[in-house]
Structure formats: structure tokens, C-alpha cells
Structure 1
Amino acid sequence: MTAPVLSIRNLTVDLPEGGDRPHAVQGLTFDILPNETVCVVGESGSGKSITSFTAMGLLPRALKVSSGEVIFEGRDLLTLKEEEHMRLRGKRMAMIFQEPMTALNPCYTVGNQIEEVFQAHSRLTRAEMGERTLDLLNEVKLPSPKRIYHSFPHQLSGGQRQRIVIAIALAMDPALLIADEPTTALDVTTQAQILDLMNELKQRHKAGIMFVTHDFDVVAEVADRVIVMRRGEIVEQGTASEVLNAPRHSYTRQLIDAVPRRTRTAPTHEAGREVALDVRGLSKTYHIGATMLGEAQTIHAVKPLDLTVYRGETLGIVGESGSGKSTLVKCLMRLTDPTTGQILIDGTDVAASSRGALRASRKDMQIVFQDPYGSLNPRRTVGDQMVQGPLNFGARRADATKRAMELLQIVRLGEEAFWRYPSQFSGGQRQRICIARALMLDPKILIADEAVSALDVSVQKEVLDLLRDIRRRMNLTMLFITHDLRVAAQVSDKLIVMSEGEVVERGSVAEVFGNPTHPYTRKLIDAMPGQTWEVPDMATLGPASDL
């Protein structure tokens, strides 16, 4: 039999006293073989990242290994001195981190950062390092390798930066490659490219890969074997076919059931015919003056577009980074002034409103942002932040407090949340608070700007269900901004697809998915992971086992 690249035996890592449980991970046992991708699946707090950090010798000082072994190439990594572990990192084992912008140094060029690995672990000459670096840039399929060699990270796209991180990890042809959520922050087409690249690299380098993720559609694309973790323990493991098609544990079934599907799973909402938002000829153009380093530029962030949203309707706005979604939202909110066009809400042109008149209309359109952690002030209680909006518009504190209590019940948190601080809530609960805060002013239109992108799949499903329920109860008009067509399909009545600042497709969910007319829309649909995986019907699988 082939010897494992990595063998973890009965690993337990303790949490500091006062945590929500005694151990970050407990009793972990599994192997990773050469030329094998093992997907470690679970939600935030399941212990996935702690497991990978332990193997890499990057465990935070506050966490202590209390038992177990991590065997790599015949040696227990837990018994190595820091200097010995450093000699292995980058040479025999490497890690691809989730956020490439923080993994790369903004002060050094791409070429400098890849060559650092050769300087630390090889005796190559300067010319040989440069040649090998260009070979790596070619291998990860980056365009114009010589240009990118001399580029800084901020000059590249997110997908290109992630390829750079992969090139750094592959520099010394490691035996073990750990990929910690490497595609979570990427657009779907870029994600598809990275997943294809990971499959190719596994075959070419014969490395064992630990692929950490929470998305079972991604698992279906890359996994040979699957390990499902919950609260620090393995609840299920097996081949990809076994876990994907016949999951035994109720938690595994819950995760699979929460994966957004490619069609709408809830009935379409019947909106009224009263127009809530009418946008006519809206555009936004940025003019960048000439500098010593470059010529003047004109950027058409949003090209002239029209859209109509009816009262009680949800419009999904889909597109990748740079498509113009965020600029459109800023224009609609008047956080930036549109270059041309009208934004009509109940007949009032918000685009032409003066600053004084604009303040009065601010409460008509509220927004829920992507990051629930950065959206709330950690020094103020939830209640204090919720009542601030109505108080700014002249409401009595008693009335605002009563309204806040009602909304906390609606978002399923309870009145006791009013007195607590954001740090006392999970990410999904914080997003519920942000939704409740946005509803405090009884807006006519609610904008959800990538509001579930940062959440685990089961929490994401709960928030999507909540948004549907709130829309139904309050007859609320919604704009749902996302880069993922799968997510948009769950809540939207109609969809528009944006590319390079213009609307290239519009229609109902069934029309856009069933008969896309634009090549860009077809490209987005084709790039969605898990295309060949037929999700099993949980009702036919028999009773779940929680052993």
C-alpha cells in the first residue's frame, strides 16, 4: 500500500479556559495519500483551520496540543523544534491561504516574493531563480508572465493574486499542499479556473492535498475523499461518492441540504403593479487625470441602463467583480452622484435631489452590507445602534425602542439581544441584527449587497429564508446584489446580469437559467461548481445516524 503523505492520529487541541467548549479539535484521525485530494468540510468553528494550522506549525500560542501525533515523512511534526518546522514549510509542505491580498506583501513585486522561497530553500543562482519563477507563472496559467513578474499585488485581480499564492506554494514541489478555503472570496468563473488548476496540479505534482471548504458543490469538483467536521470532531468520512451521494450523519445532510441549488426552491412572489423604483438612463463615468506614470483615462463604471422594480418584488442583480454592481448601488443610494439619469422613488427623482432634500429621503432606501462584523460598532449595544436611525429623524426613544424590540423578534433573536454587544453574537446573528437595523426606518426599498457571501452555507440558508419571510410580511421591495447565480435564484423574482457596466441579460429566474441569451450569462452558469453532482433526495436515504 502507498504510504500516507500526512497521517494524523488522535489529535486533540485545547481551547483556553472560558471557551464555548474544551477542545478546538478532539480525537482527529485521518490520512492523506500522495496524488489524493481530501476535502475537510465544516462550518466556522468546526476546527478545519485549526487542523491545517497544527500541521503547518502555525498554531496560535493560546492553543495547546494535549495529545496525538501528526506524522509527515516519518516524523512527528509536534515534536519538531521551530527551526526544523521552518525548514519543512515551503519546501516539503506548503499552504494556500484564503485571502491572497493579505497573504502577499504589498511592498514587493510578485517576482521578489516567489524568489524568496528559492532563496530560503535552494542554492539556485539569481538567473536560475528568475527562470524558475517565470516557469511557475506559466504553470499556473497567468497571462504575460514577464509583466506579472514585475507587478505588485495591488495591480492584479483577485484570481491572479490567488494564482500567485499557488505558485509560491508549488515553488519547491512540496509533498503536502494545504488549501484553506482558496476559492471562497472569488467570483464563480475565477473559482472554476482555480478548481481546474488544482486538479491539474495534483496530477502533475503527485502531492497530497488537504482542501478546506464549507461548500459541497466545490467538494464535488475536487474531492477524492471527504471528512466532515463539527465542533472539533469528525462526524463522517468516506470517499467523495459515499459522502456526496449517501450521507449518513444528520449534520452532513444539513450541510448538503443548505447548498443553494440552480433553480428557485421557493414559490415566486406575486408582486403588485405599483412601481417602487424606476431607474432611467442611469450612468456613472469616472475621469482620471494624466500623471507622470500614465495618460488620462475615462472609465464607464455603469453604462446607461433602465430598470423597474415593483412594490413587493425582489430584483437580483448578478455580476462578477468589476461588473458595476457596487457602483450602481452607490448611485441608487446617492453615496456617489450619477453622471446621468433619473432614480424615481414614488415619483421623486432622488438623483436630482439637493443635499437637504436627500437627507429626508434617506430612510426610503436602506442597505445591508456584506460584512456583518465590520457593519456594527463593537463599543455600542445592539439596541443603541438600532434606535440611532429613528432618533436622527425625530422619533421618541420609547417608540424607537419598542420598534427595535419588535424587529428583533421578527429576525428571530429575541428582545434580550437589545442589551447585548455585537461581540456576543455569531456572524449569522450579526447579519440578522444588520437586517433589523435597516428595517428600523420602515424603508420602501431594502438593498442586500452581497449580504450572505461571508456566511456559512446553513447560516446563509437561514438568512435567505428570513429575507423571503420579511419581504412577504412587510410587502418590501428588495434589490439583492450577488456574484452567485445560485444564491440569487433562491430569493429573486427577476434577475438582471451585469458585465462591464451594462445589463446584458434580464428576465425571470426560470428564463435566465433555462434560456440564457448572452454568452456572459452562459459563462456564469457553466462556471457554477457541482454541475455533474445530482444532489440526493434526503427523504429516500433512510434515518440519519449521529454516532
Structure 2
Amino acid sequence: MNLLDIRNLSLTLGSSPLLSDINLSIAEGEIVALVGESGSGKSLTALSILGLTPDHARISGEIVLEGRALHTLDDRAMQAVRGRDIGMVFQEPLSALNPVMTIGDQVAEVVRHHQGCSRKDALAAARLALDKAELPAPRFGLDLYPHQLSGGQRQRVAIAMANVLEPRLLIADEATSALDPVNQAKVLDLLCGTARHNKAGLLLIVHDLAVARERADRVVLIRQGCVMETAPAAALANGLSSDYGKALIADAGHWPPPRPTVANNAPVVAETRNVTRLYAGSRKLWGKGPPIRAVDNVNLSVQRGTSIGLIGESGCGKSTLLRALCGLEPVQGGQVLVKGQDWAKASVGEQRALRRRIQPVFQDPGASLDPRWTIARSLSEPLALLDKRPENPDALIAVTLQQVGLDAHFANRLPHQMSGGQRQRVALARALITKPDLIVLDEAVSALDVSVRARILDLLSGLCRDHGIALLFVSHDLEVIRRLTDQVLVMEAGRIVEQGTTETVLASPQHPATQRLVAATPRLNPETEPKA
């Protein structure tokens, strides 16, 4: 008997069918990858298992977990199932975690709710779960808050919450999309190893075909709410039978059109000179510890029309450097210059003009978009930075949405009405709409499926080629870095430890930090693909 059986699951909201006759099974100790485009119904299938479907949705079919018909249970009964029998790791950890609770209390809350134990015992269980999730003491104390952690670290807290009671079924919805290859491998080792050891099931919702091939036993392809193909994961390297599966594999190997070489004397649009960013040390019994050097004496120069990659393990300082470059965080040493002008010395009016020239795309679109604003309002906000407002802003918004692969009708939606990948495309559209000199992208394609990612990479490459827009691209996906960037810089512990042309650095890494990243990168077809 299978651990989980989904039979003919259909879901309709209003007059729109969102899921149609989904059939999916998971055996004990089996890992099944659910793969599909953004908005295809992957996350909705997972939420249906948990009984967290949208209000007023009409559902038919069966969802059976170890012989128990979950589709017949009311919400009160499902509350006892969630967290105890089924653990869920959501896609956006900053949205899933409570910002005013410590990470220790958040993990312990799951234990106390289901076991009714003391706070002391629950915190002890939380400590063990966080240690397993590669957040060991004393560096990651139970008294830390989510905002004190990097995006990858927050995602590991979410994994600890889902796994603390060792549930029979674990659902991981893009659980490693924010992690660098080294930590991604560790987290996947934890998730997959726990499932195998406990004979539990693991539903791995991913868009990375290489991860699905390396980690899953079977893969289920879903498109527009319908299962298109179910196959052994090894078929992802050898070829799938459905037209949709073949198209996904083709998109996974897509390279953007070549860009012309940028002249050495091209103007510099932004640079950092010996920049140092310090954070206060953690609290100790007697005062505070020494300050943390998140960015340590970093020099970086971005020329017009260039595309530069910035890689490194989670928490190495990449996002901090990007925020300093955008003028969003002060620095304690060195200079941050945009078009030769120092952020720290610019007046309020001058800073406003500088923000027109450099636009960020943040890692977590769910946190960077105002949940009360329509997409049209979010996209129109940056237009205030322009010297002259467009005569027809609605038309510009529609065109920009189409550039990132979204229909114009998305302009009237709210962020919660979109998938994670769709929200990330909106964040990219917001940066593009003012046609800046430099776009700073922090994991801008981490939540995108391979087909949309191929179009976005083409778009970004075209911006460099046709408009001279420079890109500073932070990504944990070394394949994206290899295909999109001309140069790459590697960070470790706040310092640049290796840099050079992308092909040279990734083909022959010299520093141990780079070697670890390259070695841990999953590959869709290891027989033909070069490492990274």
C-alpha cells in the first residue's frame, strides 16, 4: 500500500478549473519530484493535501494518507495532521516565519502544539532540529529572529519546523531555491536521508530538473493543472516521452544569444572602493561580542553593458554588498559610487536621481511587494523617479509585464493571487520599467521554472546588448551565472576570494570556496555537461 494516494483530484474556483484529475502516489521511503511551470498547480496540489485550498473552491477526488481519507476531514481534524503527520516547507521563508518570534520559539511551537510538553522540552527538540538543519549552536542561538538571518538560513529554519516531529510525509515546496549549491546539497541530503531512514514520503516540488534527476525516484510533470507525464527521474537525462517534457529539457539547456564584448574603456556605472559593512555582535552574558564584518574591504567595478556574477555560500555577504551598492545600507568604511557620485555625500535630491540609475530585484518577492497594492500600483511607483512621467503609464506597465512573460491582466491582481514565480517576475518588471543603468539582481530567477527562466535570461542578455544596461547578478545557480555573465566574483566571509572571466573561474576554480560550489552543483546530464 502506498503511503500517499491522490486519485482524480480536481479543484475549481469560480468557473476556472485549477486542477484536473490529478493522480499521484508516493510509497514509503520514496521521493517524488513534482515539476512544472510557474502557476501550473504544483503548490496548489500540495496545499490540497494539507486541506489549505482557497475559500469557496470546489474539490473532488480522493487524498489518502496511510489509509486515512484526508479529503473527508474537517479543518479541526486536519489541524492535528498538519505538522505531526505532514510537514510542509513553504517557498518563501520570510513570509512563512513570524517576524516577532525567535526561531527557537517558532520551532518549539510545533512540538508544544502536538505533544503538549513543557517549553523547556520543546526548546530542546527545537535545538536538535536546528542543528540537523545546519544551524548549529552557538552561532545560531534560539533567541535569534528571522531578520537576523540570510535568506538561505531562514529557509533552513522553515525546514527545521517541518521536520521537528519527523512526519510520515514531508512536502518541500522549492525548499532549496534560495540556497547555494553547497548548502542545497546538505539540505537535500537531510530531507532525502530522513525520508529514506524513517521510511517516510517526500514530495519535492522543484523547477530545477537537475535536482529532480539527482534526488528523486520518480518525476511527475504537471501543466495547467493536468499531469502530463510520470516517469523515472533518470529519464530527465535520457529524454522524456511527452512533448511538454521534451520542451522542458530543451529550455533547461537554453543559452541566451551572445553579447558583444564590452570595451575596456566603457564608463563605470557603479563601484565600491574598500567597502566594509559591520553589524553589531551578538549579545553575550557580559555585553556584546565583536562586530561581524559582513563585507570586508571589497572592491567592485561595474561597467556599462557588462554582466557580472557574484557567487558564494549563504551568509557570505553577497546580499549585504548589493544593498550597500543600492544605497539601502550605510557602510562603515570605504566608498560606494554611482556614476562617480558617493552615496554617503549625496543630498536627498541627488540620491533620488541615483535611484533612477540603479534598480534592485530582491530575493524574496513576497516580502518586497506591498500585499495591499495591485501589481499596476507596484509597477507605477518607480515611475515617480523619472524626470518626465510617461503619457500612458498603463500601456508601459502592460508592455513591461509582457517582457517578463506575464499577460497584461496581471496588472489588476494582488500579490497573494499569484504564484511565487509570478511574483518574482513582477519584481523584475518593477526594476526594468525605468530603464536604469544598472540592475542589481539578488536570486532573481531562483523561483522561475526553466521555460520562463530561458525567456528571462534572453531578456536580460538583450538589455545588456541593446540598451547597455549593466547587470550585477547574485545567484546560487552556477548554470545561470555561466550562461548570463561575462565575469564572476566569489565571496567568502565578506571578502572577494577569486575573480575572473566566468568560463575560466568555473572551469578551473582555484580557491577552495569556488571548488566547493562547483563540485556541489547538480547537473541534468552528467555525461555531457561540464561541471558548472
- TM-aligned CA deviation for residue 329 of structure 1: 3.2
Contact residue 305 and residue 470 of structure 2 kept, 8 A: yes
Could you say which residue in structure 2 is the equivalent of 1:272? 263
Of 459, 467, 482, the residue aligned with 1:466 is 459
Structure 1's unaligned 5+ residue stretches are 537-547
Could you say which residue in structure 1 is the equivalent of 2:413? 423
Could you say which residue in structure 2 is the equivalent of 1:55? 49
Structure 1 residues 145 and 274, CA gap change in structure 2 (3 angstroms) = closer
Of 26, 37, 40, the residue aligned with 1:46 is 40
Q: Which secondary structure does the structure 1 equivalent of 2:177 belong to? A: coil
Alignment deviations for residues 202-251 of structure 1 (CA, whole Å, 9 cap, x no partner): 22101122111222122122110111111111011111123442212232
- Counterpart of 2:13, as a letter, is L
Q: Which secondary structure does the structure 2 equivalent of 1:178 belong to? A: strand
Q: Which secondary structure does the structure 1 equivalent of 2:461 belong to? A: helix
Structure 1 residues 454 and 212, CA gap change in structure 2 (3 angstroms) = closer
- TM-aligned CA deviation for residue 197 of structure 1: 1.0
Alignment deviations for residues 514-547 of structure 1 (CA, whole Å, 9 cap, x no partner): 11111111122222223764579xxxxxxxxxxx
Could you say which residue in structure 2 is the equivalent of 1:434? 430
Structure 1 residues 289 and 479, CA gap change in structure 2 (3 angstroms) = closer
Structure 1 residues 404 and 274, CA gap change in structure 2 (3 angstroms) = farther
Tell me the TM-score normalised to structure 1 length. 0.80
Could you say which residue in structure 1 is the equivalent of 2:14? 16
Distance 1:146 1:356 in 2: 38
Contact residue 358 and residue 439 of structure 2 kept, 8 A: yes
Could you say which residue in structure 2 is the equivalent of 1:401? 391
Q: Which secondary structure does the structure 2 equivalent of 1:512 belong to? A: helix
Of 466, 469, 475, the residue aligned with 2:468 is 475
> Is 1:378 the equivalent of 2:374?
yes
- Counterpart of 1:267, as a letter, is P
Structure 2's unaligned 5+ residue stretches are none
Distance 1:533 1:329 in 2: 33
Structure 1 residues 159 and 185, CA gap change in structure 2 (3 angstroms) = closer
> Is 1:228 the equivalent of 2:211?
no
Distance 1:152 1:384 in 2: 33
Structure 1 residues 282 and 82, CA gap change in structure 2 (3 angstroms) = same
Distance 2:143 2:333 in 1: 39
Could you say which residue in structure 1 is the equivalent of 2:357? 365
Structure index of larger Rg: 1
- TM-aligned CA deviation for residue 448 of structure 1: 3.4
- TM-aligned CA deviation for residue 174 of structure 1: 3.2
Q: Which secondary structure does the structure 2 equivalent of 1:438 belong to? A: coil
Distance 2:392 2:125 in 1: 66
Could you say which residue in structure 1 is the equivalent of 2:235? 242
Distance 1:532 1:93 in 2: 32
Q: Which secondary structure does the structure 2 equivalent of 1:520 belong to? A: helix
Structure 1 residues 268 and 295, CA gap change in structure 2 (3 angstroms) = same
Q: Which secondary structure does the structure 1 equivalent of 2:52 belong to? A: coil
Contact residue 189 and residue 527 of structure 1 kept, 8 A: yes
RMSD: 4.0
Residues 2-401 of structure 1 aligned to structure 2 (within 5 Å): 3-17=1-15, 22-65=16-59, 67-105=60-98, 113-114=106-107, 116-122=109-115, 136=129, 140=133, 142-144=135-137, 148=141, 159=152, 161-259=154-252, 266-267=257-258, 269-277=260-268, 279=271, 281-286=273-278, 288=280, 294-295=287-288, 297-342=290-335, 348-350=340-342, 353-355=345-347, 358-359=350-351, 362=354, 365-370=357-362, 374=368, 378=374, 385=381, 387-390=383-386, 393=387, 395=388, 400-401=390-391
Structure 1 residues 428 and 64, CA gap change in structure 2 (3 angstroms) = same
Give the fraction of aligned pairs with identical amino acids, expressed as a percent: 33
Segment of structure 1 superposing worse, 23-32 or 348-357: 348-357
Tell me the number of residue pairs that the alignment of Structure 1 and Structure 2 aligns.
Answer: 516
Tell me the TM-score normalised to structure 2 length. 0.82
Could you say which residue in structure 1 is the equivalent of 2:520? 527
Structure 1 residues 26 and 300, CA gap change in structure 2 (3 angstroms) = same
Structure 1 residues 344 and 176, CA gap change in structure 2 (3 angstroms) = closer
